[in-house]
């Protein structure tokens, strides 16, 4: 079946620190992989995506590489800001389906 395992939070970092949030997946076929971000009181926003192996998704300084050999899609950012404080969700969408399978979410707090 399809599932996403995401690093447990919460994660607290100082401003300008390096961020890694681990995500691994189990899927049939060749899924597309996503990172979504949820700010307080809001819905989900797509942060980045990758649709095939070795693709790198990037946006707003965040990056994640689709690693088929390790079934991973870890999120990284070189220098976090206070405004990056949010909950981050890793998700997959399997081949031929439109629904998303989400990880449990990782709450990130960045302190000045």
Partner 1 sequence: KAGVTQTPRYLIKTRGQQVTLSCSPISGHRSVSWYQQTPGQGLQFLFEYFSETQRNKGNFPGRFSGRQFSNSRSEMNVSTLELGDSALYLCASSLAQVAYNEQFFGPGTRLTVL
Q: Contact positions toward partner 1, by CB under 8 A?
A: 32, 36, 41-46, 49, 51, 89, 91, 93-105
Least distance in angstroms from the C-beta of 15 to partner 1:
28
Least distance in angstroms from the C-beta of 31 to partner 1:
9
Least distance in angstroms from the C-beta of 35 to partner 1:
12
- Choose between 46 and 82: whose C-beta lies nearer to partner 1: 46
In the chain, count of helices (H) and strands (E)?
0, 12
Give φ, ψ of 97 to 5 degrees. Answer: -120, 160
């Amino acid at each position: 079946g399809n599932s996403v395992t995401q690093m447990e939070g919460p994660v607290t970092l100082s401003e300008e620190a390096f961020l890694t949030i681990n995500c691994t997946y189990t899927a049939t076929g060749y899924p597309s992989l996503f990172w979504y971000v949820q700010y307080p009181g809001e819905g989900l926003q797509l942060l980045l995506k990758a649709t095939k192996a070795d693709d790198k998704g990037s946006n707003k300084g965040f990056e994640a590489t689709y690693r088929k050999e390790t079934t991973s899609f870890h999120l990284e950012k070189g220098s976090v800001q206070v405004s990056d404080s949010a909950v981050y969700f890793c998700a997959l969408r399997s081949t031929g389906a439109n629904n998303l399978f989400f990880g449990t979410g990782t709450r990130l707090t960045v302190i000045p």
